[in-house]
């Protein structure tokens, strides 16, 4: 059942979209929820769960580089991904290429 004026948000993607919109809005969570017709407690729960999930680590394996020196100094290196963390730290992942193709 849904209360009059309340919107239904379904699935992880829907919750993630709401949380992105909240962060980009510059509004307080209470004002954002009021304007969107969303229950404050529900959005607070989603936000808490998202924050707890960001504390997890993911193991990443990379092939050993055969060329000396950092990949970003290698003219054959291509930027594959860039992740900007909340504190401003930037993680860049480069792929070294050779004549035989990507490794």
55 band by pLDDT with thresholds 50, 70 and 90: low
81 DSSP assignment: E
Q: What are residue 81's DSSP bridge partners?
A: 93
Task: Render pLDDT for 2-50 as a digit per residue (tens, 0 to 9).
Answer: 444 556 777 778 888 999 999 899 999 999 999 999 999 999 999 888 8
> Which of the residue ranges 37-41, 56-60, 68-72 would you say has the lowest mean pLDDT?
68-72
Predicted pLDDT of residue 103? 41
Domain spans of the chain, in order of start: 11-53, 71-102
* Per-residue exposure over 4-36, b if at least 16 CB sit within 10 Å of its own CB, e if not: eeeeebeeeeebeebbeebeeeeeeeeebbeeb
Backbone angles phi, psi at 87, to 5 degrees: -80, 0
**Residue 102: per-residue pLDDT:** 44
């Amino acid at each position: 059942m849904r209360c009059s004026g309340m919107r239904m948000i379904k699935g992880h993607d829907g919750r993630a979209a709401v949380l992105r919109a909240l962060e980009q809005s510059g509004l307080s969570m209470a004002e954002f929820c009021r304007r969107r017709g969303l229950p404050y407690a529900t959005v607070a729960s989603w936000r808490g769960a998202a924050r707890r999930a960001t504390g997890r680590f993911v193991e990443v394996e990379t092939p050993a580089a055969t060329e000396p020196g950092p990949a970003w100094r290698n003219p054959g290196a291509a930027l594959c991904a860039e992740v900007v963390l909340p504190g401003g730290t930037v993680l860049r992942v480069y792929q070294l290429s050779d004549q035989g193709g990507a490794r």
